[in-house]
Structures are given as structure tokens and as C-alpha cells.
Structure 1
Amino acid sequence: MIWIGIAGLALAAVCAYLARAAHARARSMECTETLPVRDLRSLHEAAARAAGPGNFRYRCEVAGHARPHRDGVLRSELEELECVWHRHKISRKYEEIYRDGNGNRKRRTRTDVLSEHSSSTAFFVADATGKVAVHPAGHEVVGAEKVLDRFDPLVPGANRLELGPLSLNLGGGDGTLGYLREEWLVRPGGRCYVHGEATDAEGHLAIVPPAEGGSFVLSARSEKELLRGANNKVLVCGLGAGLAAVVGVALIVMAVAR
């Protein structure tokens, strides 16, 4: 019983951490101004005149629609669809035999991630007043459109997957059931909200992950939707942390008192 109590306290710590992270992210978005691109560019121009180019850094948010960067649209790696950002994940599902606490043989299904990648190519976010470059730096876009979610049962002898220039060793192995392919993307013209740091450190104005830490959010959802989700997560995780802590302490006290 004491180990169950300790596990309860560990779960409480995890829930508390998740609640704190969600709260910090929500407060950061609430405290940061959403600017029209024209106003952001005006701030940048004024800073460049005062301090010279390359010194501008400003926490901000921009909301608009995604546009391809100067080199044109991208193509997603699995479905080969036109986009400005894409992410894929390929997982192997397999069964394994294990023994439970009583020594009984049981079977369970597990998953290994074989390949996971998010594009890092810059794209523009445009509103009615202009456009600004965004550097995703490999970050995930929250709420991106999922265009592929397919499970392929194992084909005997198929050990490699060819994805254009990508050649992936599938591994196989005893107990393999098959492979799950998933892909997400942001299409040109799709809604986009960005929360990060505007800078001209690389010679042009762009929004990037903050240099000194802090929240960087790319989203196909609105700020209002993100805040609602974050506040719900704070509530659920906070309640979970409190409940798990109470149960954990109670079980430990009961075990010690025996």
C-alpha cells in the first residue's frame, strides 16, 4: 500500500507541473499585445533608427493567415500536399509478453516512434495590414490539420519505407503488428496565430522563439481558443494534483499505522 501512496504523490507532482506550465503559458499570452503587422513594422523601423539594425527584440503576437515564404510552398513528406508547414510521425505497433506481479504471463500492445519530424522552413503570417516572417524552428503548430492517420498491418518481408528522399528502416521484429502513419500540416491561407519574439537579428524582421526563454506558440487556433484550453487544463490538472496528493498521503499514513 505504501508504494501505491508514493505513486499517488508522484502523480500529484506531475499534475501540479502540468497545471503550472499551462498557467504560465496562458498568462504569457494574456499579458502580450497582439499587434497588426503594420504596427510591428513601425516599432521595428523606429528601433532601427534609434539603435541601428540588428538590435530589435520585442515580445508580441500576430494573428492572420499563413502564406508561403519566398521560395514557394512546401510539400508534406507523406501525402505530398502543398503547405507552409508540415509534421509527420511513423510508429511501430507491436505486442510483447510480460509477467505481472503474480508471475502470470500476459500480452500487451506497445508503440515505438520510428520517425518524427517538423519542418523548420520560414513562412509568412499576413493580416490586412501586411505580412511578417515566422521561423517555426521545428516547433509544433497547435491545432494543425491532420491529413493522414493510417495503420498499415505488417507485410512480411517489407523492411523499408521509401518516402521521396527519405528511406526508413522499419525494423520489423517479433510481435510487430504494423505501422501507424500520421501527418499534420498548415495549408497556404490557413488561419495562424503566433506568440513569440520579433527580432531583426538575422537581417530581416521575423518572429522566432524568445532568445532568453519563454513561451513560443504557433497555432491554427485563435488566442481565445488556446486560452480556454489552457485554463481548462489548469483546472483539471490542479484538481487531479490535489486529489492524488490527498489519496497518496492517506495511503502512506494507513500503511505506516499498521
Structure 2
Amino acid sequence: MVWIGIILVLLGAGCFYGAVHTQRRVHAMMAAETLSVPELLEQAGIAAELNGGPGRFRKVCEVVGETAPAPVGVLRSELTGTECVWHSHRVERRYESRDRDSEGRTRTTTRTETVSERTSPHGWPLLRDGHTIGIDHGGRRPDPVEQVLDRFEPSDEQRGFFDRGDRTLGYRHQEWVLRTGVPMYVLGEVDDRDGPLIIRPPADTTQPFVLSTRTEEELTRSDRQTQRWWARGGAVLVVLGLALTVGGVLT
């Protein structure tokens, strides 16, 4: 009982950490300025004059606009060929595994392993009022994105187990895309180190990077609700864990 109580207390602490992390993101969105590309270009020009040239401008802010094709052109996703500015896919193998325990008994379990996973490396421009700013997603997935494929294909290899002791049941194919013309909200750090203005994950890793197809209002409302659930869940787990721990010590 004592160990169960300790585990519940630790889980509760994890919930409180999630609540604090979510609250910090809400505060960061509320505190950040929403700037247009002309305003950022003006500030970058001032920074270049003060610092003896471009390349040193840094500004944490919010940018909103619509997705547009990158200079490389419109992309096509690898599994469905959907036109987009960003895509990601994952292929999972589902299989039965046969294991033998120390007493010689055989047990069959169903497991899943990822056999292929890839995200397009290119960023894309964000367009608003005829002006664009580049987005470097830094390997992050926009939230949320459109899922265009979720299909399970049974395998033909249905008879007998392989020498390594498993049998393939099939493969699950999933793919997500971000199309052109999708409204986006981005909170990150704008810089000119590559020449054109690009917004990317902040150099200070304690600062949040938000890349979303939802509005700031939708994100704030959702995060506040999530923060409340984390806090309430953490309180319940800590109280229950302490009760079990104390009860176990006293008995």
C-alpha cells in the first residue's frame, strides 16, 4: 500500500508539472506581441543600423497568416500524393509474438512496431496582406493537422511463425498534410540570420513554440481547460497517495 501511495503522489506531481507548463504557454501567448511582416521588417532594419549590419535581429512574437508554397513549389505527400506545404507519414507493423516463459509455457501477444516514419524537412511561408515570412518548423508537427490516410492492410504472411518467433498480421499506414491557404497562428522567435525573416523555435528552450492551425483564442481556451484538469487530477492523486502512504505506515 505504501508503494502504491508513493506512485500516486509522483503521478500527482507530474500532473502539477503539466498544469504549470500549460499555464506558462497561456501566459506566453497573452504577453507576446502580434506583429505584421512590415512591422518586423522595420524593426529588423533598425536592428541592422544599430548593430552594423543584418543578421542579429531577434524578436519573440506572434505571427498570423495563411500557408503558402515554399520556393521549391507545392509538395506532394509520399503515400497519397496530396498537394501540400508539409506532410508526414508513419507505417506500423502489427504482429503476433510468441514467447516462452521460464516454465516452458508459450504465450502469444499482439504488438506494434514502427517500420517507417518521415516528415518533410522543408518549411513554408506564411502569407498575410501580400507579405510573407518563412516558417522553420524545427521538426515540430503543426497542431492540429489534417489526416488524409489511416488504412490497415492485412499481410499475406498469415501461415506459421517465422524463425524469430513472430507472425506479421498487417501494416497500418497513416499520413498527415498541411495544405496551402490554411490559417495559422505561430508563436516563436523571428530572426534574419539567413537573410529573409524566418520565425522558428526560440533559442531559449524555456520559451514555448506554438505552431497551430487554431486561433490564439481557441488555443488559450483549450489550454486553460487542460490546465484545470491537470491541476484537479494532480490534487486528487496527491491526496489519495498521501492517504495510502500514511495508512500503510500506520498499519
> TM-score, with normalisation over the residues of structure 1?
0.85
Residue 21 (str. 1) matches residue 21 (str. 2): yes
Which sits farther off after the overlay, 60-69 or 82-91?
Answer: 82-91
Partners of 1:129 and 1:176 in 2: CA distance: 52
Which whole-Å deviations, capped at 9, do the CAs of 1:219-243 have from their partners, x for residues lacking one? 1111111111111111111111110
Which whole-Å deviations, capped at 9, do the CAs of 1:88-111 have from their partners, x for residues lacking one? 222233455789xxxx99765443
- AA matched with 1:244: L
Name which of 185, 197, 217 aligns with 1:193. Answer: 185
Residue 203 (str. 1) matches residue 195 (str. 2): yes
Residue 149 (str. 1) matches residue 142 (str. 2): no
Aligned to 1:81: 82
Aligned to 1:123: 124
Name which of 205, 212, 236 aligns with 2:204. Answer: 212
Partners of 1:107 and 1:4 in 2: CA distance: 29
- AA matched with 1:93: R
Give the number of aligned pairs.
240
Instruction: Say which SS state the counterpart of residue 8 (structure 2) adopts.
Output: helix
**Structure-to-structure mapping, 1:105-254, within 5 angstroms:** 109-156=110-157, 174-213=166-205, 214-254=207-247
Which sits farther off after the overlay, 127-136 or 104-113?
Answer: 104-113
For residue 140 of structure 1, report the CA deviation from its aligned partner: 0.8
What is the aligned-residue identity percentage?
40
Which whole-Å deviations, capped at 9, do the CAs of 1:173-214 have from their partners, x for residues lacking one? 615432222111110111111110000112221111111222
> TM-score, with normalisation over the residues of structure 2?
0.87
For residue 39 of structure 1, report the CA deviation from its aligned partner: 1.4
Asked if 1 retains the 8 angstrom alpha-carbon contact of 2:98 and 2:165, the reply is: no
Instruction: Say which SS state the counterpart of residue 141 (structure 1) adopts.
Output: coil
Asked if 1 retains the 8 angstrom alpha-carbon contact of 2:97 and 2:165, the reply is: no
Asked if 2 retains the 8 angstrom alpha-carbon contact of 1:121 and 1:137, the reply is: no
Instruction: Say which SS state the counterpart of residue 46 (structure 1) adopts.
Output: helix
- AA matched with 1:125: L
- AA matched with 1:252: T
Partners of 1:182 and 1:210 in 2: CA distance: 30
Q: 1:134 to 1:148 in 2, by over 3 A?
A: same
Partners of 2:141 and 2:46 in 1: CA distance: 32
- AA matched with 1:136: H
- AA matched with 1:50: L
Aligned to 2:63: 62
Instruction: Say which SS state the counterpart of residue 53 (structure 1) adopts.
Output: coil
Which whole-Å deviations, capped at 9, do the CAs of 1:131-171 have from their partners, x for residues lacking one? 111111211100111111112223318xxxxxxxxxxxxxx
**Structure-to-structure mapping, 1:39-50, within 5 angstroms:** 39-50=39-50
Q: 1:243 to 1:219 in 2, by over 3 A?
A: same
Aligned to 1:90: 91
Q: Which runs of 4+ in 1 moved over 4 A?
A: 95-99, 104-109
Asked if 2 retains the 8 angstrom alpha-carbon contact of 1:118 and 1:139, the reply is: no
| TM-align CA RMSD | 2.3
Asked if 1 retains the 8 angstrom alpha-carbon contact of 2:99 and 2:165, the reply is: no
Partners of 2:201 and 2:28 in 1: CA distance: 13
Partners of 1:141 and 1:186 in 2: CA distance: 8
Asked if 2 retains the 8 angstrom alpha-carbon contact of 1:196 and 1:209, the reply is: yes
